[in-house]
Amino acid sequence: MKKLIGDVDDVVLDTLRGMAAAHPSLRVDLDQRIIVRADAPRTGKVGLVSGGGSGHEPLHGGFVGYGMLDAACPGEVFTSPVPDQILAATTAASGGAGVVHIVKNYTGDVLNFQLAAELAEDEDIEVVPVVIDDDVAVQDSTFTAGRRGTGATLFAEKAAGALAEAGGSLQDVAAVAREVNERTRSFGVALTACTVPAAGRPTFELGADEMELGIGIHGEPGRERTRLRPAPEIVDVALSAIDEDMSLSGSEVLVLVNGMGGTPLMELYVAYAAVAEWLGGHGVTVARSLVGNYVTSLEMAGAMISVLRLTPQLTELWDAPVETPGLRWGR
Amino acid sequence: MKKLIGDVDDVVLDTLRGMAAAHPSLRVDLDQRIIVRADAPRTGKVGLVSGGGSGHEPLHGGFVGYGMLDAACPGEVFTSPVPDQILAATTAASGGAGVVHIVKNYTGDVLNFQLAAELAEDEDIEVVPVVIDDDVAVQDSTFTAGRRGTGATLFAEKAAGALAEAGGSLQDVAAVAREVNERTRSFGVALTACTVPAAGRPTFELGADEMELGIGIHGEPGRERTRLRPAPEIVDVALSAIDEDMSLSGSEVLVLVNGMGGTPLMELYVAYAAVAEWLGGHGVTVARSLVGNYVTSLEMAGAMISVLRLTPQLTELWDAPVETPGLRWGR
Amino acid sequence: MDTRRWIERFAELVAADADRLTRLDAAIGDGDHGANLNRGLRAAVEALGPDLPPGKVLMTAGRALVSKTGGASGPLYGGALRRAGKALGDAADADATALAAALRAALDAVQQLGKAVEGDKTMVDALTPAVAAYEAAAGDGPAAAARAALDAAEKGAEATVPLQARKGRASYLGPRSVGHLDPGAASTVLLFRALADAAGEG
Amino acid sequence: MDTRRWIERFAELVAADADRLTRLDAAIGDGDHGANLNRGLRAAVEALGPDLPPGKVLMTAGRALVSKTGGASGPLYGGALRRAGKALGDAADADATALAAALRAALDAVQQLGKAVEGDKTMVDALTPAVAAYEAAAGDGPAAAARAALDAAEKGAEATVPLQARKGRASYLGPRSVGHLDPGAASTVLLFRALADAAGEG
Ligand SMILES: Nc1ncnc2c1ncn2[C@@H]1O[C@H](COP(=O)(O)OP(=O)(O)O)[C@@H](O)[C@H]1O
Ligand SMILES: Nc1ncnc2c1ncn2[C@@H]1O[C@H](COP(=O)(O)OP(=O)(O)O)[C@@H](O)[C@H]1O
Ligand SMILES: [Mg+2]
Ligand SMILES: [Mg+2]
Ligand SMILES: [Mg+2]
Ligand SMILES: [Mg+2]
């Protein structure tokens, strides 16, 4: 295992230490393991909290700040946070107007956030959870755990954060996050596996000319293994899967070409060139785009494409000023 | 070779296509292979141009925009651009007040920029080159090609760009870039090699428990190969080398923990925690910091640390608004 | 029935087998089940104060598991033990009949939280037959009942191999989840091995 | 002396050997020397219009190399050929004496641009003895002179192996650059092999 880390058992703590040192605009509580906006809680503002396993940086801690999250709670690598920790983040974010939980749809995240919400209600904090499940690689049926939450998480945190900053109500902030989720679809591919520090070996083995289609963000293998293909073909697989699930033709979209952590920007731009061409050729207008490593899976090589069908309000919320370590514009 | 690309021969062109599609604020000329600010040239403003081999993204093209570069000219992967291309960028950037070339100190870059400057002078554009050579891993002597240009390039582009935006003169803009270079030292390590697409195989082989100390940004091996060490020890090697060359104690610094392309943010924060601790323990005040992938070497895993001894003016120039794909704040 | 010894033994077995559990989870999940349970159970054992009644032991351990494990298994095992502890109440002793009821409550808790049914390729596939076997053999005393439960848990776990997962992370793999032992079912076997060991000692 | 054939042959040899040149460069540089020269020389051959005098051929090729190669080798080889072409002037023919002077001018250009001296482990280590050998054998005619130059270039290139680099990227490696053949010296051997081949044909 080749990682720039110290003690494997301390990797999350050391990450938090680094974030604390690098970002004076954040309040990092190493004991509670939460990352909080320096000015939280803001009285009267709806609080926005998210969290999940570590290893997806900058998600979620890197999205704490003006116009986005009030607090984040990172669990162990690829392991959902525990209820006490989620509660601490919720309390830190609570300005009396309620708190929205953005929860990626994994059994562990859903259960732990649910328990935390119960604890928060004991402390008279109203919590509305929004579950994100945008990954089309997984069949959505009552016979599965449902779809995974991936790139839509970033979109939901941005839109809900902007609305909360603008004074939106608890119900409205939750509703916009839900709307973003409903209008977003994602599909990811992996060229390499990744290694959970505590495990010390890759979660799966891939041949030199193989790739995984339909991966998640936890180092799990995908739905299908195929031979390595050129970027335009991969993009076609991903966008066709998305388009089949949610027809894109005629819409204005926000598109994210998201690196999984080990893929350099150069390749993401190459992929984005293919994405832009595909969408243009299918009658889709790209109104906004984002290319980079935002929702990662440790050092996995690969990319995930997320497409959000915009509305005028969602475009406005996307464009609204944001000031976080991971996403910043307008101030 | 596992890369998200199409035809290997088109990788630079495809990257430019992607950048063009993703960033409407840039004018990308695919024939000339240059990336230009949409509003360039600005009459009376000193132009700022940089370029070099591709494979270092977001450097340089990702730093074109308000408060930073006017134009960038990316060569083939790890290969300096050619004079005609540099001339095209220079012409595009020229608003009549002269153009500063930020040139990383590699024989090829220096020679090609020199030839381009001669061509530009034939067209009555005054060009002042500033050569960046901040890498302490290389002995600086008249018997070598001199030190390599690495992280200081980003700092110089930011400072010179801010000063040019503020109306600084040709000589002043060049002088501040030179000053940044003189006050910056860098040291990098690699945990893995990287693969130039056209070559198809890694530039060197590293054992599972080996790393390279004192690497550059072109996939070359470093000065020394050692066993893999924990992040705090690596940081100590890097900062000791920097400190020995330019004493840091008592100064206020801007520090960059820069990923080489394949190392995820989590590990960079872990490294930054160690950096902050080391500097604090050695009487150095970290006034500003930046953690992320800015000056990369394709998909190489590893990190480079750059330290700039700030002055009040340099802090101000660093804080000034910037709006580029790779670096953005204040607007 | 010494529930404290049960939990301690469960922690020992998981610590010894953490690597295998993690490897099972890497194959069809995210490679952290062993680390998760190990972390949670260390906290659970630490949380156990002296001289607690059997029900209180399970409630305390369950709460610690919920607080420290994370992932899906934390709330599920934690909720199960808490509910089992609640079922035992404040009684100073827990005989086989009481434990049978407690185990049933544990199973109910897992199913309420996780919504999985038998055949979904989860810990429920080991837990369900184990609880039934314990109930059926409760009349023969705690040691015999625990051995029967262990036997059933092992068979139930083994039976997850050919199944396609419908709950938890493994469900993302679709047909590719077939042919692997479910890690949660594997750790449930350890839960009943610990019960059998503890009952056998006592 | 047919300089056009010389350049075409150089392009052929580099195309055939690009992989080896790149591998040499990967060992102590950045792994692009073969690709660079190959790209540049393809452009150079394309740039050659019909019926150019020998000097003009070299100037045109040199300019194309500068325009299309990039890297250190582009300006160096390009500058060398341009200067050699200039030395030949507009003459319709280039005999061995004229070519000797042109090669000397090429070497001067490389050294003016790159500031390397013999022993720095660069193309200069092959070019310097090759030019001297050509000059010394010019009296025996272009074919014999070119063969002598090739011989000297090969020896000069081989002699870079034990050296520590003091110019170019290989200098970054310090002592680790010892034990490797310099890629630019290797391509200079091809330049003289092409010259020998072209002179032998003519
Ligand atoms: N909905 C569920 N109901 C019952 N058990 C479940 C459910 N989801 C997951 N599990 C069990 O949890 C195990 C995985 O636990 P663990 O790896 O610790 O959590 P995570 O999946 O969050 O990483 C699975 O093997 C399965 O037995
Ligand atoms: N200063 C110099 N003088 C002469 N030759 C040089 C100099 N620097 C580099 N070279 C030659 O250039 C070769 C490398 O060329 P190439 O790989 O194409 O360029 P780059 O080093 O820019 O990648 C070296 O092997 C060496 O022979
Ligand atoms: Mg997990
Ligand atoms: Mg090069
Ligand atoms: Mg797991
Ligand atoms: Mg080279």
Residue with tokens 């050729």: A281
Report the residue from C29, C70, C113 with minimal CB separation from A76. C70
The atom number, within ligand 1, closest to the CA of A109 reads 22
In one-letter notation, the amino acid at residue C99 is L
Answer yes or no: B56 catalytic: yes
Residue B1 in any domain: the answer is no
Report residue C181 as tokens. 């032992």
Whether the CB of D183 is below 8 Å from some CB of chain B: the reply is no
So what's the pLDDT on residue C201?
80
- Is residue B90 within 8 Å of residue D77, measured between CB atoms? no
Listed in sequence order, the residues at least 6 apart from B82 whose beta carbon sits closer than 8 Å to its beta carbon are B75, B112, D66, D67, D68, D69, D70, D74
Residue B2 in any domain: the answer is no
Chain A, nearest residue to B58 by Cα? A265
- Chain C contacts of A144, Cβ < 8 Å? 166-167, 171-172
CA of D163 to the centre of ligand 2 (A): 15
- Chain C contacts of A83, Cβ < 8 Å? 66-67, 75
What's the first-to-final CA gap in chain A, in angstroms? 40
pLDDT in tens, D164-192: 999 999 998 889 999 999 999 999 999 99
User: How many angstroms separate the CA atoms of A152 and A305, rounded?
Assistant: 10
Are both A304 and A322 inside the same structural domain?
no
- A touches which chains (3+ CB pairs under 8 A)? B, C
* Band of residue A142 on the pLDDT scale cut at 50, 70, 90: low
Residue A20 in any domain: the answer is yes
pLDDT in tens, D68-119: 999 999 999 999 999 999 999 999 999 999 999 999 999 999 999 999 999 9
Q: Nearest CA to A97 among A159, A171, A45?
A: A45
Report the residue from B6, B211, B329 with minimal CB separation from A230. B6
Query: Which residues of A touch chain C, with CB atoms under 8 Å apart?
Result: 53, 75-84, 106-108, 111-112, 114-115, 137-139, 143-145, 148, 196, 198-199, 201, 203-204, 216, 218-221, 223
Report residue A225 as tokens. 């293994």
User: Residue B22 sits in a domain of what CATH number?
Assistant: 3.40.50.10440
User: Residue C128 sits in a domain of what CATH number?
Assistant: 1.25.40.340
- Chain A contacts of B286, Cβ < 8 Å? 21
Are both A124 and A157 inside the same structural domain?
yes
- Chain B contacts of D114, Cβ < 8 Å? 107, 111
pLDDT in tens, A40-70: 999 999 999 999 999 999 999 999 999 999 9
Residue C202 in any domain: the answer is no
* Band of residue A219 on the pLDDT scale cut at 50, 70, 90: confident
Report the residue from A57, A271, A286 with minimal CB separation from B4. A271
Report the residue from B208, B273, B291 with minimal CB separation from A14. B273
So what's the pLDDT on residue D201?
80
The mean pLDDT of D110-136, rounded to a whole number, is 97
So what's the pLDDT on residue C174?
86
Residues of chain C above pLDDT 90, percent: 91
C180 CB near ligand 1 (under 6 Å): no
Instruction: With CB atoms and an 8 Å threshold, state whether A82 touches C68.
Output: yes
Instruction: With CB atoms and an 8 Å threshold, state whether B265 touches A58.
Output: yes
Listed in sequence order, the residues at least 6 apart from A62 whose beta carbon sits closer than 8 Å to its beta carbon are A19, A324, A325, A326, A327, B265
Residue A287 in any domain: the answer is yes
Are both B25 and B170 inside the same structural domain?
yes
Cα angle, residue D91 at apex, residues D127 and D48 outer, rounded to 5°: 70
User: How many angstroms separate the CA atoms of B160 and B170, rounded?
Assistant: 10
Neighbours of A87 (CB within 10 A): 26
Do the chains B and C touch each other, judged by at least 3 C-beta pairs below 8 angstroms?
A: no
The mean pLDDT of C101-111, rounded to a whole number, is 98
The atom number, within ligand 1, closest to the CA of C121 reads 27
CA of C32 to the centre of ligand 3 (A): 5
User: How many angstroms separate the CA atoms of A98 and A174, rounded?
Assistant: 10
Report the residue from B83, B144, B221 with minimal CB separation from D66. B83
Report residue C116 as tokens. 């999985």
Residue C154 in any domain: the answer is yes
pLDDT value at C161 more than 90: yes
Task: Please give the positions of A annotated as active site.
Answer: 56, 218
Catalytic residue among B56, B60, B101, B282: B56
User: Which residues, given as ranges, of chain B have pLDDT below 70?
Assistant: 140-143
Q: Which residues, chain by chain, have CB under 5 Å from ion ligand 3?
A: A 78-79; C 30, 32, 71
Instruction: With CB atoms and an 8 Å threshold, state whether A264 touches B268.
Output: no
Residues of chain B above pLDDT 70, percent: 98
C111 CB near ligand 1 (under 6 Å): no
Report residue C2 as tokens. 């010494």
- Is residue D64 within 8 Å of residue D38, measured between CB atoms? no
ipTM above 0.85, yes or no: yes
Chain C, nearest residue to A147 by Cα? C172
User: How many angstroms separate the CA atoms of A245 and A235, rounded?
Assistant: 15
Q: Nearest CA to A159 among A5, A313, A3?
A: A313
Count of alpha carbons within 13 angstroms of residue A30, beta-carbon side:
13
The mean pLDDT of A277-285, rounded to a whole number, is 98
Q: In what order do the strands lie in the sheet with B184-190?
A: B224-227, B210-213, B184-190, B302-309, B252-259, B285-292
Chain C, nearest residue to A81 by Cα? C70
**Could you say which DSSP state residue B284 is in?**
-
Residue A1 in any domain: the answer is no
pLDDT value at A317 more than 70: yes
Instruction: With CB atoms and an 8 Å threshold, state whether D35 touches B106.
Output: no
Chain A, nearest residue to B261 by Cα? A264
- Chain B contacts of A5, Cβ < 8 Å? 230-231, 267, 270
User: How many angstroms separate the CA atoms of B304 and B294, rounded?
Assistant: 10
Q: In what order do the strands lie in the sheet with B71-77?
A: B26-29, B34-37, B71-77, B47-54, B99-104, B127-132
CA of D32 to the centre of ligand 4 (A): 5
CA dihedral (B42, B48, B52, B55) positive or negative: negative
Are both A179 and A201 inside the same structural domain?
no
Residue D202 in any domain: the answer is no
Tell me how close the Cα of C50 comes to any Cα of chain A, in angstroms.
Answer: 24
Whether the CB of C30 is below 8 Å from some CB of chain A: the reply is yes
C125 CB near ligand 1 (under 6 Å): no
So what's the pLDDT on residue B143?
64
Q: Residue C83: give the domain boundaries.
A: 3-197
What separation in angstroms does the CA of B171 have from each of B37, B46, B179? 22, 9, 12
In one-letter notation, the amino acid at residue A76 is E
Residue A66 in any domain: the answer is yes
- Is residue B169 within 8 Å of residue B75, measured between CB atoms? no
Are both B169 and B199 inside the same structural domain?
no
Most ligand 1 atoms within 8 A of CB, residue of C21, C122, C158, C190 to mutate: C122
Residue with tokens 């190399």: D65
What contacts 24+ positions apart, CB below 8 Å, involve B160-163? B160/B48, B160/B100, B160/B102, B160/B130, B161/B48, B161/B63, B161/B67, B161/B68, B161/B69, B161/B322, B162/B67, B162/B68, B162/B316, B162/B317, B162/B318, B162/B320, B162/B322, B163/B317
Residue with tokens 């801010």: B162
User: How many angstroms separate the CA atoms of C189 and D139, rounded?
Assistant: 93
C96 CB near ligand 1 (under 6 Å): no
User: Ligand nearest A54 Cα, by number?
Assistant: 3
Count of alpha carbons within 13 angstroms of residue A264, beta-carbon side:
31
**How many structural domains are present in chain D?**
1
Q: Nearest CA to C66 among A132, A103, A87?
A: A87
- C touches which chains (3+ CB pairs under 8 A)? A
User: Residue A240 sits in a domain of what CATH number?
Assistant: 3.30.1180.20
Report the residue from A138, A148, A199 with minimal CB separation from C31. A199
pLDDT value at A105 more than 70: yes
So what's the pLDDT on residue B141?
64
Are both B142 and B213 inside the same structural domain?
no
pLDDT in tens, C120-141: 999 999 999 999 999 999 999 9
Residue C67 in any domain: the answer is yes
The mean pLDDT of A235-253, rounded to a whole number, is 98
- B touches which chains (3+ CB pairs under 8 A)? A, D
Residue C153 in any domain: the answer is yes
Catalytic residue among B23, B101, B218, B282: B218
The atom number, within ligand 2, closest to the CA of B109 reads 22
The atom number, within ligand 1, closest to the CA of C24 reads 25
Q: Quickly list DSSP for B43-62.
A: TTSPEEEEEEEESSTTTTGG
Q: Residue A170: give the domain boundaries.
A: 8-183+318-329
Chain A, nearest residue to B18 by Cα? A273
**How many structural domains are present in chain B?**
2
So what's the pLDDT on residue B159?
98
Residue A131 in any domain: the answer is yes
Q: Select the more confidently predicted residue: A143 or D57.
A: D57
pLDDT value at A145 more than 90: no
CA of B72 to the centre of ligand 4 (A): 17
User: How many angstroms separate the CA atoms of D68 and A324, rounded?
Assistant: 43
Residue B3 in any domain: the answer is no
Are both A209 and A322 inside the same structural domain?
no
Residues of chain A above pLDDT 70, percent: 98
Are both A174 and A241 inside the same structural domain?
no
So what's the pLDDT on residue A191?
97
pLDDT value at D202 more than 70: no
Tell me how close the Cα of A269 comes to any Cα of chain B, in angstroms.
Answer: 5
Are both B140 and B22 inside the same structural domain?
yes
pLDDT in tens, D42-77: 999 999 989 999 999 999 999 999 999 999 999 999
User: How many angstroms separate the CA atoms of C48 and C59, rounded?
Assistant: 10
Q: Mean of the per-residue pLDDT values for chain B?
A: 96
So what's the pLDDT on residue A146?
87
* Band of residue A203 on the pLDDT scale cut at 50, 70, 90: confident
The mean pLDDT of D7-20, rounded to a whole number, is 97
Most ligand 1 atoms within 8 A of CB, residue of C123, C161, C164, C181 to mutate: C123
Are both A259 and A151 inside the same structural domain?
no
Instruction: With CB atoms and an 8 Å threshold, state whether A299 touches B299.
Output: no
Report residue B168 as tokens. 């600084």
Are both A220 and A281 inside the same structural domain?
yes
- Chain B contacts of D28, Cβ < 8 Å? 220
Are both B151 and B295 inside the same structural domain?
no
Report residue D169 as tokens. 């990227």
Q: Residue-wise over C135-163: b if at least 16 C-beta within 10 A, else e?
A: bebbeeebbbbbbbbbbbbbebbebbeeb
What predicted TM-score, i.e. pTM, was given to this entire model? Answer: 0.95
